Amino acid sequence: MEKRAYVPTIGLEIHAELKTTTKMFCDSANDSEEKTPNVNICPVCMAHPGTLPVINKGAVRHVLRVGVALGGTIADFTEFDRKNYFYPDIPKGYQISQYKYPLVTGGTLEGADITRVHLEEDTARSSHDKGNYSLIDFNRAGVPLMELVTEPVIKSAEHAGRFARELQLLLRYLGASDANMEKGEMRVEANVSVSATKKLGTKVEVKNLNSFRSVERAIEYETNRQIEVIESGGSVAQETRGWNEDKQETFSQRKKESSHDYRYFPDPDLPKLKLSEIAEFKKETLAQSIPELPWEKRKRYAEAYGIKNEDTEAFVRDVALARFFEETVARGDGKDFAKLASNYITSDLAGLAEGDINKTAITSETFARLIAMVAAGEISSRGAKDILAKMHKDGGDPKKIAEEKNILQRSDEGELIAVVEAIIVKHSDVVADYRNGKTSALQFLIGQAMKETRGAANPRTLKELFDRTLAG
């Protein structure tokens, strides 16, 4: 029998802890760096009876800005719901989330349609790996958590990885979340199904994905596993599976609760919000606060500088490096200067600065001067690298360093013409070859002149002088 072509379908659910000073419904600190357990807590996030939650405006604003950036629809009306379930990490017995009226619906990212973006509270952090007991840290209980859900439209593990990376970048650009996956500030769940027809297959939800790499690997693994199940005559069970990082495989955790098990209902302790009546949540007002977004920056860089895509990507991923680049380019002229600057930043300077451009003694001003010297042929690329290393360590002016190191290339025609003429006399046979059409002979003559000046001559000036002298 011919093997059928199975196509995977992926829908992502991504949580991100929002950057706010205080928690979602109380004024306990929201501090993901806090190491001492159970210090950022209060009666509200500990669910003491008689306490009342208060909505954190900053958290709502973060989600709305994400919605605007994604081109989604900002809700006119919104409310919070109780999602009821019992677990030790959720002291109230329910999580405050959003069900029917999420803050944002629709929008797209990396070519994938977004279903919704809503706001909820994070749970406490439990650890079961200490021994014959479990520990719970409530510092995280009630931290504002954004949840973004995509439509089942993602077609490969690679696409899913790209989507998640782009979302991380967006959250950072917006200052909405630090979104480090290793720290659990961003958490990705992947729903995966396979099908050989137009109809979608049964989905499996994969949890515990702590890096982009594991997102991709888990989706690949799950795709293959489901195909094998079907090919061997079985059917895929709808369930939640975990990702075992050591074994690089998914494992069954539990059959998924369907949503009615949570008995969602509007939280009677919280006001319903008519967002369109809150001035600062108007779409135009929010839009004004949105910085240049990653995809806008890519487009601008491609148009304005004509630099390599991978260079652009380095700048899009590192805002400080991009600022340094733009400040440099503003001190030079034209696309060639930009390309030269970009080359030296991404292949030399970024390495010297070890990922933090603020940790170098070079300023965009001294760097621009260095690039101008390279562009004018005053120093060789070898010389530029030496000067760069020195500037990185001790700062200073590139011209001065070049003089100290005695590596300024001579472009002074008056001085060099004598050298050129001497070479022409000395190598008359090569000159004859050149005149007979052997154009490569010119390179030899320039090389001889370079040798004569011990590398201090500007090869471009030499070429011009040879051209002129030999034509005359």
Judged by the rule CB under 5 A, the positions of this chain that interact with Mg ion are 147
Q: How far is the CB of 193 from ligand ADP (least distance, A)?
A: 3
From 5-13, 261-269, 278-286, 374-382, span contacting ligand ADP (CB under 6 A): 5-13
Please, are residues 405 and 370 in contact by the beta-carbon 8 Å criterion? no
> Which residues partner with 81 through β-bridges?
97, 266
Q: Return the one option of Mg ion, ligand ADP, none that residue 410 interacts with (CB less than 5 to 8 A, by type).
A: none
**Smallest separation, CB 165 to Mg ion (Å):** 21
Can residue 220 be called a binding residue for ligand ADP (CB under 6 A)? no
List the beta bridge partners of residue 127. 135
Closest residue to Mg ion, based on beta-carbon distance: 147
Looking at the Cβ atoms of 143 and 227, the one nearer to Mg ion is 143
Taking the C-alpha atoms of residue 178 and residue 181, their distance in angstroms, rounded to an integer, is: 9
Binders of ligand ADP among 188-207, rule CB under 6 A?
191-193, 200-201, 203
Cα-Cα-Cα-Cα dihedral sign, residues 195, 200, 205, 210: positive
Of these partners, Mg ion, ligand ADP, none, which one is at the site of residue 151 (CB under 5 to 8 Å by kind)? ligand ADP
- For ligand ADP, the closer CB: 171 or 316: 171
Minimum distance from residue 85 beta carbon to ligand ADP (Å): 14
Cα gap 293→316, rounded to integer Å: 9
Query: Binding ligand ADP by CB under 6 A: which of 28, 150, 223, 346?
Result: 150
Give yes or no for residue 259 binding ligand ADP (CB under 6 A). Answer: yes
Mask: binding to ligand ADP, 290-319, rule CB under 6 A, as x and -? ------------------------------
Does residue 7 belong to the site contacting ligand ADP (CB under 6 A)?
A: no
- Give the one entry of Mg ion, ligand ADP, none that residue 259 binds, where binding means its C-beta sits below a cut-off of 5 to 8 angstroms depending on kind: ligand ADP
Q: Which residue is nearest to ligand ADP (CB)?
A: 11
Question: If we measure between CA atoms, which residue out of 211, 203, 205, 178 comes closest to residue 190?
Answer: 205
User: Is the Cβ of residue 12 or residue 273 nearer to ligand ADP in the bound state?
Assistant: 12
Q: Is 152 in the site for ligand ADP (CB under 6 A)?
A: yes
By a kind-dependent CB cut-off of 5 to 8 A, residue 193 interacts, out of ligand ADP, Mg ion, none, with ligand ADP
- Contact positions vs ligand ADP (CB under 6 A): 9-13, 149-152, 191-193, 200-201, 203, 256, 259
